[in-house]
Amino acid sequence: MQQIIFFFIRNKNFLLFAVLFIISVGLTIQTHNYHNDKYISSANYITGGVYTFRNNITDYFSLAKENDQLLQENLILRKKLDLFKETEVFGKLDSTILQNKYEYFTARVINNNYSKTKNQLTLDKGRNDSITIDLGVISSKGIVGIVSDVSENYSTVQSILNTKSRINAKHKKSGHFGSLKWNTEDPNVVQLVDIPRLAPLKKGDTIVTGGRSTIFPEGILIGTVKDFHLDNDDNYYYVNIDLFNNMTSLEHVYLIKNYEAEEIKELEKAVEDEE
């Protein structure tokens, strides 16, 4: 304690200067439009760098947890490899198709909002890393969102915890499709709507991506049925889904690029134009 007091006494002049300098800079920015504009421009430029620096520090203290996660992923891959050996012919066929259609990129989450109504994430990959808008984003546990904007070195993702988000999803057992959205009440729970009442839903059933889009492959994990009830028309279910992902602690994600997406979009647009 005495050493801390002696430090402040020895450096009191410098510390006083530093405090006064910071105050003067703040007052200059607030009272002069030119300096304020320059400050905002500079702040926007370095935001990505600040996020990266902050997350480098955070990652250092979470290495043990990350190692555990990698071990779990390796275990999953080992199980898939064993399954591949048991069904070698079909496994090779499916693998070849997927490799030709999709490419996967890794990225790190450097900023994550989950307490707003239109939440987004920031990733440390951008155009220089072949990232474009409308790429699907997932983690090792399930779906995360869709790339909404890209700069040279960074990208933003519209989280599934966003009131504008709509993702095609289905009940895994029956194959009935619906639309995934979020009601803003809980970051661990999303909603699946437009599931017909004839679907044999049960609590704990798995919900996955439906594959009826150019963004996500079919079968990406989303979560499990928490509870459900019929909507006002008594024709469709309103289903609450417990997410597999913990959307409040995302660190590493995968981006999915569908090489057939542009061809499909062009074809569909041509059909719409003819109509």
pLDDT at 97: 46
**With the CA atoms of 54, 57, 63 and 69 taken in that order, what torsion angle do they form, in degrees rounded to the nearest 10?**
0
Distance from C-alpha of 166 to C-alpha of 178, rounded to nearest angstrom = 10
Give residue 264's pLDDT: 81
Of residues 219, 225, 206, the one with CA closest to residue 256: 219
- Burial class for 242, CB neighbours closer than 10 Å (0-12, 13-18, 19+): middle
Is the pLDDT at 68 greater than 90? The verdict is no
Is the four-CA dihedral 96, 101, 166, 269 of positive or negative sign?
Answer: negative
Q: Where in the chain are the domains?
A: 2-60, 62-101, 167-243
- Considering the domain 167-243 in this protein, what is its CATH number? 2.40.10.350
Q: What is the pTM of this model?
A: 0.68
- What does the pLDDT look like over 209-245, one tens digit per residue? 999 999 998 999 999 999 999 988 789 999 999 999 9
Q: Is the pLDDT of residue 130 over 80?
A: yes
pLDDT at 133 over 90: yes
Highest mean pLDDT among 133-142, 182-191, 265-274: 182-191
Nearest to 50 by CA among 108, 106, 107, 111: 111
- Per-residue pLDDT reduced to its tens digit, 246-258: 999 998 888 999 9
pLDDT top residue among 3 and 170: 170
